[in-house]
Structure 1
Amino acid sequence: MKPEKFHAVVVDRKEQIKAFLDFPSTLYKNDKNWIRPLDGEIEKVFDPSQNHLFKTGDAIRWLLFDSSNNLVGRMAAFYDKIGAEKNEQPTGGIGFFDCINNQEAANILFDHGENWLKDKGMEAMDGPINFGNRDSFWGCLSEGFYEPVFNMPYNFPYYNQLFENYGFKNYFNQYTYKINIENRKPAGAIMERAMRLKRNQGYYFETFNLKRAHKYVGDIIHIFNRGWAEFKGVRKMQKSEARAIIEELTPILDPRAVIFGYHNNEPVGFYVMIPDLNQIIKKFHGKFGLIQKLRLFFDLKILKKPNRLIGIVFGVVPEYHGKGVEAGLVMRMEEEIAKPGFPYKSIEMNWIGDFNPTMMKLVEKIGGEIYKKHITYRYLFDGSKPFKRVNEP
């Protein structure tokens, strides 16, 4: 009997987990732009004690080998019942996909994902996405093959063809805008609106206060659940999630780059940026032990090494759209940038979906230009059903 050209193995042992984490280092060894994510950032996605989505879902991982038992690919599949049901058809996901440039190999991984998700009651799958928040490991890079920022995906150009040849279609685009801080020219109209808002005594904007970090848990929940939870596939944020976000961000954030907006003491918007840790951790090779933690602290807090900010999220609750809150957040950030000693040279505003033209226009008005594009693909298991892009009627 002729041996199979490729075969997949479920990841369930310690040495297989290590192989899953190490494989991209071999695949991208000649690509100077690729940066290995921290192993812990990936592993917490698959740890039920750290990922609340396991309460209403599940995940599985595979390794792909060729006939000579060489590792040639990896992938994960997952679903969350609550998020799945927010789509027209129950939709799961695949992610952490890496593969040699071979359609047959990729198809075997995609087939495993489809079959596993079908068994879980799913009727479609999105990919490559994260089993968690959209701000990490989400999307297939299709334009702007530059060095990735922290926890943003990077891949070879041929990945798009592997997905599309299988039958995946473009569900939405995610744009990364780059703002050159030294050459930025915020539109005059934005600053005028901000000045008008500033004269309204009910509004105020503040930078993150490390001594009152716990206060922002409720503010984040309020803004996020009003501003994002109505989008397809996005579930409401729980208090435990918001608390975890604050606990994770507090040690690494620069308080000057996190702005909250309020109206009559009610949170109405935020503008959250962090230093790009990839400028430091790219030499860690995925590890984050004591030595790496000390190195990170020294480079981040003492040397102020990162010169690039990552825009994680910029949002305003729907009731305050068009009232100038966006302009107020921008102006408060401009005040921080203008102060002596501001160390950053550029901002990369990540994850601006093409389904949010208002946000795209705003970022362009403050000097942003499209720098990268990622694609979130969707594959319907029943090919006879009509495909719809996100928010398409």
Structure 2
Amino acid sequence: MSGLVVHEAVDKRDRLLFVRFPWSVYRENPYWVPPLVRECLAKISSAHPFYAHADAAFFIARQEGRIVGRIAAIIDQNYIRIHNSKTGFFGFFEAFSEPRIASALLETARCWLKERGMESMIGPMSPSTNDECGLLLDGFDTSPCFMMPYNPPYYASMLENFGLCKARDLYAYRIEQSLFDFRKVEILARHLQKKKPALTARPVAMASFGEDLQTVKEIYNQAWSENWGFVPITDAEIDLLANRLKPLIVPGLCLFAHWGEKPVGFSLTLPDYNIALKRLNGRAGLLGKIRFYFLARNIRSCRVMLLGVTRTFRRRGVEAMLLLETVRHALSLGYNCAECSWILEDNELIRRTIESLGGQRYKTYRIYSMDI
């Protein structure tokens, strides 16, 4: 392809162009949800706590001066340490449908990683499994839930033509009120309460949010440590996430599980704020915030985005209890459907629990890998 050039986005102008490029890809797509520009810039800023343990380069592809694609190459030292693997990531991938654009971008990321000693590449990670990751393979005719990725159907073939292969699939489940078995849920809840009286759930205490956040920190890295692709989240990263999400939390949808007095798990469910974000078109000024909170009042769908149980208390009913209580609280608050995402394809325990509540798998996301 003549005139195709890939260069690193170094200065502020290029970083803004990097962030704004998806608006060109999805101009005619009614399902894409524009992210907030401010948050996207923060996510690729060296000041973000992720880059205290990671290096990254952000690249833009131009065809005769016009931006036609973007990609990031990422080396997370925490991932390398935990997995003892010289593996780098690619992420933030977006491109027009010409295959050679994707090949040029992926080759640039591959070379950048290889030059720095990496032996394999996985992705998309934007920038890790603690944030948006995976490539959407189906369900293109619905908008993504809050903090979930979206992409055109042609991305998969472009990645596969480059030589990337499946590493893992991630699933999204949907629970509809119309398919929900209320009687079964009540029977399960009573059975759990009778069989395991020490097991209880409580909502987050917003008045002592700092104390509950400390409990989350203690549970999170232990609960997810055995998951494929796990990367520990640092205190600084979880503090940043908490500050972002605290104003968005509905207390009855953020739950802690206790065995007696001991906290053994937690779940976080948020309204699907993408329904409101879609109307802002990436703008978060004063008027945008007012409009967001006005629109958010009428949201009736939600996303179960985190559910973790400490290792010694797994398979003892904690997972089921958290899901049961989440669904009961959501229904009492007027929500009529929920997405549970993402779920690793080999997480049979959580998948069976969701399916027992009437959940149906409706989207698949794929993490790709290749030797470099």
TM-score between both structures, scaled by the size of structure 1: 0.88
Once the two structures are TM-superposed, the CA of residue 187 in structure 1 deviates from its matched residue by 8.1
How far apart, in 1, do the equivalents of 2:327 and 2:36 lie?
32
One-letter amino acid of the counterpart of residue 311, structure 2: P
Partner of 1:313: 306
CA deviation profile, 1:235-280 (whole Å, cap 9, x unmatched):
3333333333322221011112111100122111222110111111
Q: How does 1:79-158 map to 2 (within 5 A)?
A: 79-87=75-83, 89-134=85-130, 136-145=131-140, 146-158=142-154
Partner of 1:332: 325
Q: How does 1:10-89 map to 2 (within 5 A)?
A: 10-50=8-48, 52-66=49-63, 68-87=64-83, 89=85
Shift of the 243–265 alpha-carbon distance from structure 1 to 2, 3 Å rule, reads farther
Partner of 1:348: 339
Residue 179 of structure 2 aligns to a residue whose secondary structure is coil
Is 1:280 matched up with 2:273? no
With 35-44 and 25-34 compared, the bigger mean Cα shift is at 35-44
Partner of 2:212: 216
Shift of the 56–239 alpha-carbon distance from structure 1 to 2, 3 Å rule, reads closer
Once the two structures are TM-superposed, the CA of residue 161 in structure 1 deviates from its matched residue by 0.4
Partner of 2:235: 239
Tell me the percent identity.
Answer: 26
Partner of 1:389: none
How far apart, in 1, do the equivalents of 2:133 and 2:331 lie?
33
Once the two structures are TM-superposed, the CA of residue 209 in structure 1 deviates from its matched residue by 1.9
Q: How does 1:176-215 map to 2 (within 5 A)?
A: 176-185=172-181, 188=184, 191-199=186-194, 200-215=196-211
Once the two structures are TM-superposed, the CA of residue 232 in structure 1 deviates from its matched residue by 4.2
Shift of the 221–209 alpha-carbon distance from structure 1 to 2, 3 Å rule, reads same
One-letter amino acid of the counterpart of residue 143, structure 1: D
Is 1:257 matched up with 2:253? yes
Q: Is the 8 A contact 2:171 2:363 kept in 1?
A: yes
TM-score between both structures, scaled by the size of structure 2: 0.93
Residue 360 of structure 2: which of 369, 373, 378 is its match? Answer: 369
With 253-262 and 40-49 compared, the bigger mean Cα shift is at 40-49
Shift of the 315–124 alpha-carbon distance from structure 1 to 2, 3 Å rule, reads same
How far apart, in 2, do the equivalents of 1:336 and 1:6 lie?
53
Once the two structures are TM-superposed, the CA of residue 97 in structure 1 deviates from its matched residue by 0.7
Give ranges in structure 2 of 5+ residues lacking alignment.
Answer: none
How far apart, in 2, do the equivalents of 1:327 and 1:154 lie?
29
Q: Is the 8 A contact 1:221 1:239 kept in 2?
A: yes
Q: Is the 8 A contact 2:78 2:232 kept in 1?
A: no
CA deviation profile, 1:141-197 (whole Å, cap 9, x unmatched):
101112112221111111000000111011011111011124312683x65453244
- More helix per residue: 1 or 2? 2
Q: Is the 8 A contact 1:217 1:239 kept in 2?
A: no
How far apart, in 1, do the equivalents of 2:244 and 2:206 lie?
13
CA deviation profile, 1:317-359 (whole Å, cap 9, x unmatched):
22112211122223323442453xx232210111101121211
CA deviation profile, 1:109-162 (whole Å, cap 9, x unmatched):
01110111112221111111122453x321111011121122211111110000
One-letter amino acid of the counterpart of residue 171, structure 1: A
Tell me the number of residue pairs that the alignment of Structure 1 and Structure 2 aligns.
Answer: 370
How far apart, in 2, do the equivalents of 1:235 and 1:197 lie?
32
* Alignment RMSD: 2.0
Q: Is the 8 A contact 2:280 2:292 kept in 1?
A: no
One-letter amino acid of the counterpart of residue 14, structure 1: K
With 365-374 and 33-42 compared, the bigger mean Cα shift is at 33-42
Once the two structures are TM-superposed, the CA of residue 21 in structure 1 deviates from its matched residue by 1.8
Shift of the 225–354 alpha-carbon distance from structure 1 to 2, 3 Å rule, reads same
